[in-house]
Structure 1
Amino acid sequence: MTLYQLHAKQRLPISKQEAWDFLSDPKNLKVITPDHMGFHILSGADRNMYQGQIIQYIVKPFPMVSTKWVTEITHVKDGGYFVDEQRFGPYALWHHKHFIKEIPGGVEMEDIVDYKLPMGFLGDLVHPFMVKKQLQKIFKYREAKLIELFGKMEKEENYLVLRKI
């Protein structure tokens, strides 16, 4: 079973506090998730991010496929970073680190997602044309939505890389 990594960075012309206030509110996950994903929070979004928080969602990773996804917020440094880990859901492993760093003129948000697919070599076979493409679409949508909500940095240096590690 292969370990994959998604690494994304996005710069926004907002304060670190503004970025943290938005990203640490679990209800905003729906705002930055494409509609076709059928994303719906079932429980756990009644307060801002805290260590030990369990959040349950329904998500449609692919057309006609709906699944429950349960994540736990395992680490939080107020204003700086948080980590969510899948406890139940579509991946064999999902470990997502979110970092917020102040830069001149705004913030840089960095996401590092380490993940494994279920079903061994079959999961690895479908990765390039299903899972990788879907994750790229989701993060590109999120990038565009955040620009729509908060504006764009003058000198934009956003990037998105998915690779085996």
Structure 2
Amino acid sequence: KVTFNSDDTPDLGTPDKLATTLTAPSGDPGGAVTFPVGGTRYRLVSQATGKALDAKDCGTSDGTAIRQWSSLGNACQQWTFTRTTSNYYRITNVNSGTVLDSVNCGTGNGTAVHLWASLGNFCQEWSLTPVGGGYLIANRGNGMVLDVTDCGAADGVAVRQWTALGNTCQQWKITA
């Protein structure tokens, strides 16, 4: 019930003192920010190798291969997430503006990942599942996850898709 003061302004009660911690109502996340935040640039780093998801040679054309590379801090290793549905995201390379794509919508282990213009299909949508301090990044079209080929630690090792195995070669730290 709202009450009013004699001057017809709402009576909002007595303010709490500064630096008072207030408990959010039940069911309210209290204004917490959820991950990922649209427009924020993120780096995706392999939990196994510590290397960043990278667009080969900073390529900007359709078909640019995806690999891992030592962190350079450049736009070729930065990604944004755009929610497509409640559980899926389009992952866009900041340098090229193209999106992470399952080559030819492949469904077999070893299917390559590359950059392509956004087509709005399931082959370009990805889910994020928290695991082991990182995330499994799974393709909506085939259910396979991003995987560092043979857990190779060298710069330039291809990132592909594979059935989830539960190892760190398929887990990615995502940091702003």
Q: Provide TM-score, normalisation by structure 2.
A: 0.27
Rg bigger for which structure?
2
Q: As a proportion of its length, which structure holds more strand?
A: 1
Q: Provide TM-score, normalisation by structure 1.
A: 0.29
Q: As a proportion of its length, which structure holds more helix?
A: 1
